[in-house]
A and B are shown apart, each in its own frame.
Chain A
């Protein structure tokens, strides 16, 4: 790949925008801009931003789609930013100067977000190098074990890619060194010494019985493996599946990359909103001259365009930041504001406290999309931006608007964002029926799994686990168990 640096003119522009960004208080890793042709930028995008990634046909597929979309004029990628120190940003050659300026300002917003949002705290900031190392390792395995074997294994891993525990970098799920503790398992309840006539008072029989039951359960639990449900299915497989060393390594590569990308999925609205807030602020207040403002507005409007069937994260994010800024500027927060029920008073509410900027800087540091929506999406906002929920109507065989009720909108939106839109699936039992079969549990939240896809995923899981695999899920109201035993798929209702 032949990337080139910025032209003298663009370099100057970049320096200017960087200066403005700094003046506004943005705090970012240094940004390295590179210019790419449309084909190159599509290629980099196909690799998720990392052209040195391991080889796999799915990147070829992504490239094919992007390239086709570009050629037919359906889509074009203006910019790509990589969460890394330094931050790499790719610009497309041949875009107009105004577009490049907008994109640069946008990039500085992302760079600040990557550095300061707490959900990115645990990501590897030298991921560029790490991805290259992964690529080298996978290529070595291909050389040693053959393309077919490695490719097939990669596919199996990739189909399980989303089964991670996105909060685990911030929580200690397992106490360290617990295995080493001396194990004393009491199976009978402890009794206090007492004279026989006092015994039923000192050791009340029902308390003893309850304790006995508890101990029994605990013993049972100790025999269970894993002892508790494990959300990080990939980690569980790395540690427990009968895999070759190279297979374990590939699985851990996939897992590491999944964790690296997870915060970006968790903060899509906030991240894009923040970058859009800053490109619009920097462009309109500092950079655009009179001859550029119309082109800028045109591009900005296209970026913010909305469509009935999907939320534009750029738009929602930007508008929410502006709403927060406005509310905190006018003091529309806190118990007094909340408890005020006079619409008239509320409409005229302005304490002129000017805390808006500070507030949004705070918000960008400590929230993710779920907490962001949960805290700052207000009823007025939903009305103003005409949000609604939609559902699939079997009757009209189309998606139709369902409701404009604030509570429903918020609930649906939060559901979509929960676990980055992925179903919760964990390892329930790795020795199911005492036959070493793997039993996964889908924590049903009202939306069933896509059936054909789930079956195929089970087949991939079987390749890794080597013994029959199950997933307990549900449709509507009934629990259901999907099973794949290596040759046959089975489906049955349970309990």
Chain B
């Protein structure tokens, strides 16, 4: 049922959307939204949406309360239940809920991300009906009242039966118009993201936080592009292992780094679970660029060349700057594959680089 409030509600949502868009870069680099995530929605704090007034600030104002306690006892100002809320205006921050779908759309608009075109041979067609057209025949349940009325009106005007003083419209069977549908085929594609992260001693808390924020946004965007999506997580130091999301972001290991171990494990996962003919595959690897030595790097390069470039949509490598890392790995990649379009590289020095990095990974539309 259409409510009277709907236009105002929709307008409010539009405005919220605009505000989110305005502040998106801030949200991204602060990582505020992560952790506020429900199943499909994120609640976003929007301090500045309320209409400004000349009014007192409540901090300086204080007030009168009721209850036990001596001078100095702290009290809470949380609004309670009851017939009516109290009249303490407070400085509350509006929390608005946004679906991840909307958020992805806003991200796409703001960063001008192209929609991803899934690779051709992997498209499965699904048919979907939409009521868009009008026909002269059809079941009564689909009769379009307005169009039928209009048709009858037209006929009466043309034939001169219509009397503006006495506007009675009588539709005849030939006036009836019905809704009709068209079948549209939708491409349906599945995708898998494989996140790999270096958790060796040189990756500190801040580096992991950057990875976490960035992968949240990558996740949000890719999810909006594919109907079905899997995510897998691999951590590695000198050896690699598969973990769940929680562990991925929180574990702290130490020790050396052999990147090839992660690439090898990732290859095994793809080979066993994700047939490249059926899946769009996105490996993302984050590291501080320190590898065991030239020998291991050579193994990595060979794996990329022989396996990943053949099977994956793109292979993304993000190098997070850390105090201890040498940052050598990205240089090796650049040197070995100067113009490989399947390989996307990005250096992330600080949080403010996250936006640029997301754009360089996702801006190609693959």
Contacts and interface: CB of A to CB of B under 8 A. Distances in A.
A68 B9 CA distance: 13
B53 interface: yes
Q: From DSSP, what is the main secondary structure of chain B's interface residues?
A: loop
B218 to A, nearest CB: 29
Contact of B65 (A43, A68, A401, A421): A401
Interface stretch (B54-62, B179-187, B304-312): B54-62
In the complex, which range does the number of interface residues on chain B fall in?
35 or more
Given A68-B97, A453-B54, A312 B81 contact: no
Contacts, number: 224
A402 interface: yes
Given A74-B81, A390-B75, A311 B64 contact: yes
B72 A401 contact: yes
A302 interface: yes
A455 B48 CA distance: 13
Interface stretch (B10-18, B246-254, B280-288): B10-18
A392 to B, nearest CB: 4
Contacts of A403: 71
B81 A302 contact: yes
A305 interface: yes
A105 interface: no
B272 interface: no
B87 A387 contact: no
B52 A387 contact: no
A393 B58 CA distance: 12
B55 A309 contact: no
Nearest to A43: B5
Interface string B95-114: 01100000000000000000
B69 interface: yes
Interface residues of A, number: 86
Contacts of A190: none
Given A162-B53, A403-B71, A422-B55, A388 B4 contact: no
A108 interface: no
B20 to A, nearest CB: 14
Contact of A58 (B51, B79, B83, B84): B51
Contacts of A450: 55-57, 91
Interface string A43-55: 1001100010001
B273 to A, nearest CB: 39
A56 B8 contact: yes
A327 interface: no
B53 A161 contact: yes
A210 interface: no
18 contacts: A43-B3, A56-B11, A58-B8, A58-B51, A61-B94, A68-B97, A268-B87, A310-B79, A314-B83, A315-B66, A390-B63, A396-B74, A400-B71, A401-B73, A442-B54, A448-B56, A454-B52, A457-B52
Given A39-B3, A162-B55, A400-B75, 4 more contacts: A307-B78, A390-B63, A390-B65, A390-B75
| Nearest 7 Cβ contacts at the A-B interface | A60-B12, A456-B52, A310-B86, A60-B8, A450-B57, A309-B77, A391-B62
